[in-house]
């Protein structure tokens, strides 16, 4: 007789996702690609997709992200699929395939990045040049190259969906071409990468403004930066989107 396992509530799924994300950071950062990394990443993706299916509206989701506990870098990567999924739905690009790509990219995108380097950049300067006064040369190199290294790891997975390594490689590019590592502008950044970049920026903004977060403030801050292409379209839709 088969015994059916009891479904985990969505909040418990997110807690388990945090643990998986932490393991991914440890394994990818220390050893690069391995079969074990592939297995645990796919388990993390499946869990994220199950949680997404019961994900609450965006306002409630943001309120319940609980970003201050545990390993910051792992939690950042664990929470990103939910925001990215909301933005793809908002754009009318919602599909199982897209959700899978976003979850995959989110779990791997910072997997080769040193925690201190990440914290210095995301919560300090937004210009790589300004890291010279905060980090060593090797730490700066680690940061500048982490998008390429993570994309290379993703590309080694068997059956990796198209675009995943590209989304990872482009997640620090900008609308105006001032990002890295390729300095692409809005004409050369893929649509799903644009969604991922804005979801990534929105999560970072929320992390430092959770007490008085207003989506209107984020939009006002970014409207000059997201001035063209899909960046502008996503920001326009975000302004119209009803955050319940």
pLDDT tens string 87-107: 999 899 989 999 999 999 999
Confidence label for 224 from pLDDT (cuts 50, 70 and 90): very high
Buried b (16+ CB within 10 A) or exposed e, 159-194: ebeebbbbbbbbbbbbbeeebbbeebbbeebbbbbb
Burial of 69 (0-12, 13-18, 19+ CB in 10 A): exposed
Q: Residue 164 — very low, low, confident or very high, per pLDDT cuts 50/70/90? A: very high
User: Does domain 10-240 correspond to CATH entry 1.10.3210.10?
Assistant: yes
Q: Residues near 116 by Cβ (< 8 Å), separated by ≥ 6?
A: 135, 139
Identify the residue with better confidence: 166 or 244: 166
CB distance 181 to 172 below 8 Å: yes
Task: Return the domain boundaries, the chain.
Answer: 10-240
What is the DSSP secondary structure assignment for residue 66, as one 8-state letter? -
Angle ∠(162,72,101) on CA atoms, nearest 5: 10
What pLDDT, on the 0 to 100 scale, is given for residue 8? 45
Tokens of 144: 């500048």
- Lowest-confidence segment of 140-144, 170-174, 196-200, 232-236 by average pLDDT: 140-144
Would you say 134 and 109 are in contact if contact means Cβ atoms under 8 Å apart? no
Average pLDDT over residues 162-174: 95
Q: What is the mean pLDDT of residues 66-73?
A: 66
């Amino acid at each position: 007789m088969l015994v059916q396992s009891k479904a985990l509530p969505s909040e418990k799924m997110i807690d388990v996702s945090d643990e998986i994300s932490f393991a991914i950071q440890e394994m990818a950062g220390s050893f690069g690609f391995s079969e074990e990394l592939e297995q645990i990443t796919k388990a993390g993706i499946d869990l994220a997709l199950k949680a997404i299916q019961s994900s609450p509206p965006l306002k409630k989701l943001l309120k319940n992200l609980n970003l201050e506990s545990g390993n910051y870098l792992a939690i950042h990567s664990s929470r990103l699929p939910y925001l990215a999924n909301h933005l793809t739905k908002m754009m009318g690009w919602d599909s199982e395939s897209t959700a899978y790509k976003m979850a995959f990219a989110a779990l791997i995108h910072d997997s080769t990045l040193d925690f201190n380097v990440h914290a210095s950049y995301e919560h300090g300067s937004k210009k790589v040049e300004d890291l010279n006064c905060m980090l060593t040369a090797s730490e700066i190199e680690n940061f500048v190259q982490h998008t390429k290294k993570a994309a290379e790891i993703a590309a080694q997975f068997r059956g990796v969906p198209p675009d995943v390594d590209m989304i990872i490689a482009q997640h620090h590019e900008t609308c105006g071409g001032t990002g890295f590592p390729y300095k692409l502008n809005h004409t050369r950044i893929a649509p799903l990468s644009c969604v991922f970049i804005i979801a990534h920026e929105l999560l970072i903004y929320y992390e430092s403004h959770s007490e008085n977060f207003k989506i209107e403030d984020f939009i006002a801050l970014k409207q000059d930066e997201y001035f063209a292409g899909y960046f502008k379209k996503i920001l326009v839709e975000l302004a119209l989107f009803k955050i319940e």
